[in-house]
A and B are shown apart, each in its own frame.
Chain A
Amino acid sequence: MTKEQISPRQLTFLVMSFTIGSWIVLPSGLEAWQNLWLIILLAMGMSLVFAYLCLFLFRRYPGKTLFEIHEIVYGPVIGRLFSLLFMWFFLQIGANALAVFVTLLKTRVFTATPDLALVIPWVITVVYGCRRGLEVIARCNEPLILATAGLILLSVFLVLNIMELENLYPFFNLPLPTVLWNTLGISLFPFGQNVAILMLLPQVNRPQKVRTAIFWGILAAGGLLSLLQFLAVSVFGKTGELFVFPTYEFYRMINIGQVFTRLELIPLLNFLTMGFIKIMLCLYILAVGTAQIFNLRVYQPLAFPLGVMILFVAQQLYPSISLHLEYIKLAQPFFGLFFSLFLPLLTLGVSFLRGSAQREMKS
């Protein structure tokens, strides 16, 4: 496979898009709604620790993807089994995001359009991007994430006349377990999903800067998400938790001199691009991962079948939004804990038990 190279800055941007991804429209942890923006910051700090631990793996095996590390640590058979488990995780991330955005489109804009009509252009675009490779995705991501960041920063000025800081009070009137549980939940989803980035790290052209790049990416994404939640809460107050897509809905409230009203289409399009990038990246990782597991030379032919697979998994796993919300609330944290934290740490532990990494990499 030809090695495509991305720069640390592009990696930062990819981490940002991947983290912001679907969470930007469908935030989890709504029971802590009024303090969500603070909990995001806490979760961001926690996820930095997780990321630090996971990056130990990369430092121990530089130039290897997660799947290659599995094979080195566990041997070819068990290693591949672990990799297949992770494939399911990545597939689920992609399907999850796709389901979120299709639901958003279906319920808010195209109420009468059949699902497939919305999904097919999506899959075509994503498969095309995936076939073009990581460099292209990373390049395309740069203006898109900058536009999204710019939009979120600009919204501060757009909502000035409708936000009320009283809406933010009271601070932290939550029981401690709720705070901790939601912090953990958010640090695993969306931040924890960044474990998928471990598949891309060997392609960064300056490996010594990987850690800084990822940290900046997580910090920037956390900051942006927190700011967005802050704005949503300050506009809606307590009522915000009634909405399924609060960050999208609060843009409807914008009203500047009766001229700029109902602007929600612009953030919708902007957040959709983040979804595109996230799913594209998932698909790329899936395709490259499959190619690595089965020792294929090229991954491009896998893009289309895997893209269709994401489509069907999305439709099977998340047939309705209420089921989806239940899943995010009850199952997602455990699922995320297993893949984002437990498995990488297990691999790290086993790797330490087996001794020197250099020796293993040679054999």
Chain B
Amino acid sequence: MFKMFWRKLRLAHQRKRAPAARSSRDLSPSLAVNLKAFLQELGTSPDLIIRHLTLGPRPGRTGALLFIDGLVDPQVVNRDVLFPLLNEANWGKNQGDIDLLAYVADNLLAVGEIERNTNFRQTMQALLAGNTILMVDGQAEALLLASKGWEKRAIREPEAEQIILGPHEGFTENLRTNTALLRRRIATAGLQFEEMKLGRRTQTTVAIAYLKGVVNEKLVEEVKTRLKRINIDYIMDANYLSEFITDAPYSLFPTIASTERPDVAAAKVLEGRVAIFVDGTPLVNTVPTLFVEFFQSPDDYNFPYQYATMIRWFRYLSFTLAVLGPAFFVALGSYHQELIPTPLLLTVKAATEGTPFPLVIEMVVMGLVFEILREAGVRLARPFGQTISIVGALVIGEAAVTAGLVGAPTIIVIALTAITTFVVPGLLGPGIYLRLIYTILAGVLGAYGILTGVLFTLLHLASLRSFGIPYMAPLMPVVPADLKDVVVRAPVWALWTRPRLIGWPQPRRQPIGYVPDQEEKGEEAGDDG
């Protein structure tokens, strides 16, 4: 019964969609017909500008210039296209019967990128992408003139990925700017871009970038096949793609990282990864992604390595604390009091004396309250910020303790967790989930509950892959050579090799064994860039 209903519904759906495919239609020799076709498709949108003109030596032929107001650079259209076309002296001694479009393209227009096209649909796409279309009566062809130019945001430091030292540029919403930012950092012929249009209605340009010779060719092929499989009507952001092409669609953990920083993207491309740019968003995906990448920051490489190593360990510690802190507090407080040194235990017990709920419930509820406060803080209009901080700090924190609803230690643990969560922003989501799950497990089975939860997570992490590369790579399985950039941040001169599983086509970064204060004895690097 249901099946029949579904089938009918699907049939009706298909019938509705059927008469859309006319992509192979050609332009007509008649200008009037062409213009009518354009108007029919685009409607009477006020931003479509049709400029009629007369081209060629007298008496001339009627022509039309089409562009979308706001998508084109008026300077280009007026000075470089219209001005030479309208200047009669430019036509020289030509007589009536010439290939007018060819002459115009070759001799008159001061535009860098000109394409001749006979296909109606492609011409329409070009027009919508910000090109100017020149058509002339009697020729079933159009000139597509590159005149893109729209309002752009300036290059600024990304707000979500701040660093202290190092370059402060960030990607913008404009694809071309972004690819240029990458190219400026990698000035070698090996850096290659490939573009495709995705999103049936948005026709978003998606570009992949990789370093030929360093990247695994199969990886590039895999990225391209996965991108081509996407059939979606619109793409607004890089995350639309990453949810489509991820290896583990149901996993909590992100197997595709994104960055707003050109220096990060460049470093990853130089290691043999593929970067995926999406027009209209400053986020750039890089694949394959390893778990440890979320713990790395450009600052690690801009600070002296001894300090960077320490900072990195603080990050590992913070993440562990953020995920396991409340759980261990609950386990210690309700099952394993003997582990707490006696004076501390007495203080904690005195503080939690008389609170009505068990520790787990306190912890879970206060954790949720904090998450809600955080979300409110993000979505809030600026002027309300102060209200939230007062309500959060005083009412929910201080007053709840004074009223005896929750113990003060709980608030301290939650506050500590709150801070540590933000140290590793890439794993915010999984962190919150894991914290909640572990806290509940700790409430049910103490440290043993946490252990089963952690083991389960470890097994899950060990089974994940990102574009064929084990997600936990230098740790599970252990890749000893790659631990130099995970357990410590080795000095830059000692980062001799690329990550083994990713950059294996060209493993050497620099002469292996080179040490600054010694005579040069390292071998020649194989990478000539």
Partners in one complex: yes
A binding-site residues for B, Cβ under 8 Å: 7, 9-10, 105, 109-110, 113, 117-118, 121-122, 124-125, 128-129, 132-133, 135-140, 142-144, 258-259, 261-263, 265, 268-269, 272-273, 276
Q: Across the interface, which residues of B come within 8 angstroms of A272, CB to CB?
A: 448, 451
Q: Across the interface, which residues of B come within 8 angstroms of A109, CB to CB?
A: 335-336, 446-448
Q: What residue in chain B is nearest A261 (Cβ atoms)?
A: B341
- Complex alpha-carbon distance, A124 and B475, angstroms: 24
Q: What residue in chain A is nearest B478 (Cβ atoms)?
A: A142
Q: Across the interface, which residues of A come within 8 angstroms of B455, CB to CB?
A: 125, 129, 140, 273, 276
Q: Across the interface, which residues of A come within 8 angstroms of B452, CB to CB?
A: 121-122, 124-125
- Complex alpha-carbon distance, A272 and B448, angstroms: 9
Is B459 in the interface zone, CB < 8 Å from A?
yes
Can you report 21 A-B residue pairs in the complex whose CB atoms are below 8 A from each other? A10-B477, A109-B335, A109-B336, A110-B335, A118-B448, A121-B449, A125-B452, A125-B459, A132-B459, A132-B463, A136-B463, A137-B459, A139-B472, A139-B477, A140-B459, A143-B478, A261-B341, A263-B339, A269-B448, A272-B451, A273-B455
Known: A10-B477, A109-B336. A136 touches B462 (CB 8 A): yes
Query: How far, in Å, is A95 (CB) from chain B's closest CB?
Result: 19
Query: How far, in Å, is B73 (CB) from chain A's closest CB?
Result: 54
User: Mask for B457-492, Cβ within 8 A of A = 1, else 0?
Assistant: 011101100000010100111100000000000000
Query: How far, in Å, is B334 (CB) from chain A's closest CB?
Result: 12
Is A110 within 8 A of B463, CB to CB? no
Question: A136-B463, A139-B470, A269-B451 given. 19 additional CB < 8 A pairs?
Answer: A110-B446, A110-B448, A117-B445, A121-B445, A121-B448, A121-B449, A124-B456, A129-B455, A132-B460, A135-B463, A136-B459, A138-B477, A139-B477, A140-B462, A140-B476, A142-B477, A143-B476, A144-B458, A269-B448
Which DSSP category, helix, strand, loop or mixed, fits chain A's interface? helix
Query: How far, in Å, is A130 (CB) from chain B's closest CB?
Result: 10
Q: Across the interface, which residues of B come within 8 angstroms of A110, CB to CB?
A: 335, 445-446, 448
Pick the contact of B445: A113, A138, A144, A268 (CB < 8 A). Answer: A113
- Complex alpha-carbon distance, A135 and B336, angstroms: 35
Q: Across the interface, which residues of A come within 8 angstroms of B448, CB to CB?
A: 105, 109-110, 118, 121, 269, 272
Is B445 within 8 A of A128, CB to CB? no
- Complex alpha-carbon distance, A137 and B475, angstroms: 13
Is B462 within 8 A of A139, CB to CB? yes
Is B338 within 8 A of A262, CB to CB? yes
Pick the contact of B456: A7, A125, A265 (CB < 8 A). Answer: A125
Which DSSP category, helix, strand, loop or mixed, fits chain B's interface? helix
Query: How far, in Å, is A329 (CB) from chain B's closest CB?
Result: 28
Is B338 within 8 A of A140, CB to CB? no
Is B477 within 8 A of A265, CB to CB? no
Interface centre among A10, A136, A144 (most CB of B within 10 A): A136
Interface centre among B338, B458, B460 (most CB of A within 10 A): B458
Pick the contact of B341: A118, A143, A258, A268 (CB < 8 A). Answer: A258
- Complex alpha-carbon distance, A118 and B455, angstroms: 15
Is A9 within 8 A of B459, CB to CB? no
- Complex alpha-carbon distance, A360 and B481, angstroms: 43
Query: How far, in Å, is B18 (CB) from chain A's closest CB?
Result: 42
Is B476 within 8 A of A142, CB to CB? yes
- Complex alpha-carbon distance, A122 and B451, angstroms: 10
Q: Across the interface, which residues of B come within 8 angstroms of A259, CB to CB?
A: 341
- Complex alpha-carbon distance, A135 and B477, angstroms: 9
Q: What residue in chain A is nearest B472 (Cβ atoms)?
A: A139
- Complex alpha-carbon distance, A246 and B470, angstroms: 39
Q: Across the interface, which residues of A come within 8 angstroms of B478, CB to CB?
A: 9, 142-143
- Complex alpha-carbon distance, A276 and B456, angstroms: 10
Q: What residue in chain A is nearest B480 (Cβ atoms)?
A: A9
Q: Across the interface, which residues of A come within 8 angstroms of B456, CB to CB?
A: 124-125, 128
Query: How far, in Å, is B501 (CB) from chain A's closest CB?
Result: 13
Pick the contact of B447: A7, A124, A139, A269 (CB < 8 A). Answer: A269
Q: What residue in chain A is nearest B448 (Cβ atoms)?
A: A105
- Complex alpha-carbon distance, A142 and B472, angstroms: 12
Query: How far, in Å, is A93 (CB) from chain B's closest CB?
Result: 20
- Complex alpha-carbon distance, A105 and B335, angstroms: 12
- Complex alpha-carbon distance, A268 and B336, angstroms: 12
Question: What are the nearest 5 A-B pairs in CB distance?
Answer: A139-B476, A139-B462, A121-B452, A140-B462, A136-B463
- Complex alpha-carbon distance, A109 and B449, angstroms: 12
Q: What residue in chain B is nearest A268 (Cβ atoms)?
A: B447
Is A7 within 8 A of B477, CB to CB? yes
User: Mask for B412-452, Cβ within 8 A of A = 1, else 0?
Assistant: 00000000000000000000000000000100011111011
Query: How far, in Å, is A236 (CB) from chain B's closest CB?
Result: 19
- Complex alpha-carbon distance, A140 and B447, angstroms: 19
Q: Across the interface, which residues of A come within 8 angstroms of B476, CB to CB?
A: 139-140, 142-143
Q: Across the interface, which residues of B come within 8 angstroms of A121, CB to CB?
A: 441, 445, 448-449, 452
Is B445 within 8 A of A132, CB to CB? no
Query: How far, in Å, is B287 (CB) from chain A's closest CB?
Result: 20
Query: How far, in Å, is A114 (CB) from chain B's closest CB?
Result: 11
- Complex alpha-carbon distance, A113 and B443, angstroms: 13
- Complex alpha-carbon distance, A272 and B445, angstroms: 14
Q: Across the interface, which residues of A come within 8 angstroms of B475, CB to CB?
A: 142-143
- Complex alpha-carbon distance, A125 and B450, angstroms: 12
Interface centre among A259, A265, A272 (most CB of B within 10 A): A265
